Amino acid sequence: MSSRIVLLPLVALVASAPARATVYLSIEDAQAAMFGAAAMTAQPRTLDATQMAAIEKASGVPVRGSLVRVWRAADGGWFLLDAVIGKSELITYAIGLDADGRVKQVEVLEYRESHGGEIRYPGWRKQFVNKKAGDELRVGDDIQGISGATLSCEHVTDGIRRLLATWALVLKPLA
């Protein structure tokens, strides 16, 4: 009888443990995939309340933190690192933008969910190439979703729309 009491809490603990992260790329690997050997200069930005409100208005996506992790490529492009919640776990991804703010590439660096890792597939990520700030970027409209990865698709798409608005409102004026 006492062994059952001990096992039940252990089973509950194991069942509630978070999914293990699968790391696909380091930041440096993602930068090299997007910009080759171009020199990258870290240029993190801290958004003020006015900038955060403007980004939210332009993108329709809440800005959850004031720090933007961004690097500038020697060719004038931009590398932005971000994380969004999929269904319940973080998805770390990055976008590479050309000097005009168009998406060059999207890479998933870490995926922690038990389902939906198909967002990592090249065919899904290529839908974002050449998108820019102001484009619709909505799953079911100009971005196809993936069955079984609905929330991951929607949240990464929202994140990219937010990052494009961040580029247009905060980074572009600095270029």
Cβ neighbours, 10 Å, residue 133: 19
Q: Which residues make Cβ contacts (< 8 Å) with residue 26, sequence separation at least 6?
A: 109
Specify the long-range contacts of residues 24-28, CB closer than 8 Å, at least 24 apart.
Answer: 24/107, 24/108, 24/109, 24/110, 24/111, 24/120, 25/107, 25/108, 25/109, 26/109, 27/81, 27/94, 27/109
Extract the residue ranges of the chain whose pLDDT is less than 70: 1-20, 175
Q: What confidence score (pLDDT) does residue 17 get?
A: 45
Q: What confidence score (pLDDT) does residue 175 get?
A: 66
Q: What confidence score (pLDDT) does residue 114 get?
A: 87
Closest residue by Cα to residue 160 from 144, 137, 141:
137
Q: What confidence score (pLDDT) does residue 96 get?
A: 98
Q: What confidence score (pLDDT) does residue 174 get?
A: 77
